[in-house]
Structure 1
């Protein structure tokens, strides 16, 4: 392991203020989710970040300073958390070194994705391909164009999904229609920065690096994922008007143009976050030795 400088000790007032600001920031989204969960009410758009991804609300709400900073004063609540060591508590070098396989894998994926040109020709058809000629849908909401109309959209378009975690949910009839066959083993060979799911996954990559990176970056990635998810479902085949979501009608020329414009914007928002994550991974790899 590479020798490192002693961690910067944050005084208690400073880190508690930052932790409180972080909790307030994410509570704007967490509070409605937890209220729905308590009432056993499902939301096909906003629940996704907590049902598909493994980060629990309480984990998102807890602030971490990241490797290189220690928590001064009364920080006993952090002393027993995974990754922390010492007094005052800080993320330990040993924990960073143990995460080297994760760090190396993330570096390969993030660097490959950042180096690849963005593609904007998928038009969000992955969600349509997930219900193609299926008896049931993935969400308990009606199809905007009905069963036959939905199938016709899939069959009249070129499907070009580059993201394995979307492609793996294609129905058996839709999977052969995809121009690619991404797998879990070749993500760095296919993922590209125009993909909505690659943008949402920046949140996954960020929370997998917890507590080694500052939670401010995790929250930035979470907010991007939250906004992308809305577009993802507005362009999906479901009729979500009762939830207040205006559809992006990707079966029309106007809808395709609107989708691509939004997709470009999210790609531009995601680029600096991907760069920041890559910078953190390189910093941590230097520590891991």
Structure 2
């Protein structure tokens, strides 16, 4: 007997902090889920979840990239932006013709690349503001409650309400909201991150320190003004003035280390080419120079942070 779409398992591509957070929440809701891991050496993995005084563990089945014994109708991609397209391509042979895909990457550019590669798939994109990190592989700490804003990427599919499989995801207890303008939501997050992440990597500091030093604060504001000018040209609205939004995030996350600084400290590639780099690329198409963004990206590259 064929399973109904709602009973078919979720597959999560990417076992980082967000992937483990989502896997644990799906299991907690008694929904079937599989983690897709490159060169898997085990059939299951125990995920340990911690959020203040709440702790629980759950076993999640593991699927290898190269398997041909699974059929995917519901996929969540939580890899880094630069890994997203090749990761999806590696399991494309498992996707059904009507598969629904949720992309949860930082920055912009990777989502459009995947949509162009899979033009017939139903794709939703999301912005995640939950704070979480791994203390060890598969041990996730849910350090800060946030939201997930989700919407369908293709305009012709951009429904006012999520369709059935997306609706199932939207019911997870992670303050998930549906929007008909997901790209505007992603642009706002990119705009905010472009004034924070790169500078924290450059100065090796917590988010809050960006606002404490007057000279650094002026760099933050300069980046905001450049980005606002590009968004105005692109007719992409923001919920408030960008400097106001950035200040709010900096103060709310004052003790946090940005994901970019965490990547740098771990010796990993950053996602800045999908944040500041994406903004610079858009500006160049319009014939506009962004000296502060260009200075930041150039300086970080000179330090070996790409």
What range describes the TM-score normalised by the shorter chain of this pair? under 0.3
Q: Comparing both structures, which one devotes a greater share of its residues to helix?
A: 1
Question: Relative contact order (alpha carbons < 8 A, sep ≥ 6): 1 or 2 greater?
Answer: 1
